[in-house]
Structure 1
Amino acid sequence: MKKILCFGDSNTWGHNPVDCSKLEKPWTVWLKDIVPEYEIVSDGVCGRATTHYLENEDKTNGLKDFRERYLSGENDFDLIIIMLGTNDVLNNIDFSNQKTADVLKIYVEECRTKFGKDKPKILLVSPILINDNCLTHPIFKDLYSEKSIEKSTHFSEYISKLADEEDTYFMNAANYAKASDIDGIHMVSEEHKKLANAFADKIKEILS
């Protein structure tokens, strides 16, 4: 059975915009139902950015996690899906889109240096768009800004360019799912299902 890693943030973990709980079926769980012929490993962390941005916040340092969990030993994944960027545009980090792409490039380069180009294959995914409902949300209004929203519209531009340059796979999640009108950041269950169907098609294209 081919094995797939889904590495991401709260939209991979399954943050419920209604009450901040964990959704029963985030896209990774839907994906297991849609493509049972693949083993799906989900690694989503709320607040995870491409790299560290807060002192002593190792749990949100995506690159540190990736190195420790998946580059430090053997790796039996056939495909690694990386969907990060939403937390890179938080007010207190304010990465440029190019900075996000530059860090994602490190993921690709270090993975290939360790394991080679053919396996695991890598799918870089630009996240869903942030919408302006985050600006009035009781939690996220202080974390995101209009600048964050604007930057999210360029996720696909920069990450697709990186994918072309590194000869790896790319998918734009915003073509298939959208953030809720509740918090402007996270998906409701139905959007997770839509995204899972898109991932299933892409996975079959890559691994078949």
Structure 2
Amino acid sequence: MKSILCFGDSITWGYNPKDATRLPPEHRWPRILGEALGPEFEIIEEGLNGRTLAVEDSLRPDRGGLAKLPFLLESHAPLDAVIIMLGTNDCAPCYHLTIGEIALACARLIMTVKQSLAGPGGAAPTIMLISPPHMGELEPTIGLFYDGGQKLCTELAEPYRLVAESLGTAYLDAASVAVPDEPDGIHLGPEGQRKLALAVKDVIAPLL
């Protein structure tokens, strides 16, 4: 059996844009991915609300992905693949990040996986980087945190692609296949989750 770690934020966790609950497993993209790939694949869902690529926040502690990823790689090894989809939270204006800083954080995460020896036989797992969906019209409460970050979010796809290409990593632009649901403007509903899962499957399956 091959194992895939899906490392992400609230979209991977399955945050429901309708009522802020958690979507049932069958409506979350990692579970749908597993069903599409077949029974010979084990999917490890590692989504966390508010997770960033690397930045730490005293108001929402332990959300920096770079600090937590090494432990997860070791915990779940051996891993055949690691899929990283982060960046939405990094666009929040309170973090004051540039495109370059976000791209560098992506590169750091990829290198962490490459150097982890967490794959079968101590090799590096296959890696896939996903740039997040664009933000839509934000619900007022969510807008308190994210409003002003919409433009930065729309600019992530090309830097992510360049990072993935330079480091020999598979890549998908989630904004090309899925859009956030109303009313919150950030998270994917069941249909968006399904579209994302099937697009991920088309990229990752040939590599495994």
Q: Give the AA of the match of 2:3.
A: K
In the TM superposition, residue 94 of structure 1 has moved relative to its aligned partner by 2.8
In the TM superposition, residue 69 of structure 1 has moved relative to its aligned partner by 1.9
Counterpart in the other structure of 1:206? 207
Q: Give the AA of the match of 1:91.
A: P
CA distance, structure 1, for counterparts of residue 76 and residue 189 of structure 2: 35
Identity among equivalent positions (%) equals 31
Counterpart in the other structure of 2:3? 3
Q: Is the 8 A contact 1:124 1:169 kept in 2?
A: yes
Question: SS at 2:146's partner residue?
Answer: coil
CA distance, structure 1, for counterparts of residue 144 and residue 185 of structure 2: 13
Counterpart in the other structure of 1:181? 182
Counterpart in the other structure of 1:160? 161
Q: Is the 8 A contact 2:179 2:188 kept in 1?
A: yes
In the TM superposition, residue 152 of structure 1 has moved relative to its aligned partner by 1.0
Cα displacement string for residues 71-121 of structure 1 (whole angstroms, at most 9, x for unaligned residues): x56731111000000000112113112111101111122222232896301
Q: Is the 8 A contact 1:127 1:173 kept in 2?
A: yes
Which stretch of structure 1 is more off in the superposition, 50-59 or 88-97? 50-59
Q: Give the AA of the match of 2:174.
A: A
CA distance, structure 2, for counterparts of residue 174 and residue 51 of structure 1: 22
Q: Give the AA of the match of 1:98.
A: G
Would you say 1:88 and 2:93 are equivalent positions? Answer: no
RMSD of Structure 2 on Structure 1 (CA): 1.8
How many residues matched? 202
Distance change in 2, residues 1:152/1:56 (3 Å): closer
Question: SS at 1:59's partner residue?
Answer: coil
Q: TM-score, normalised by structure 2?
A: 0.91
Runs of 4+ in 1 over 4 A off after TM superposition: none
Counterpart in the other structure of 1:62? 65
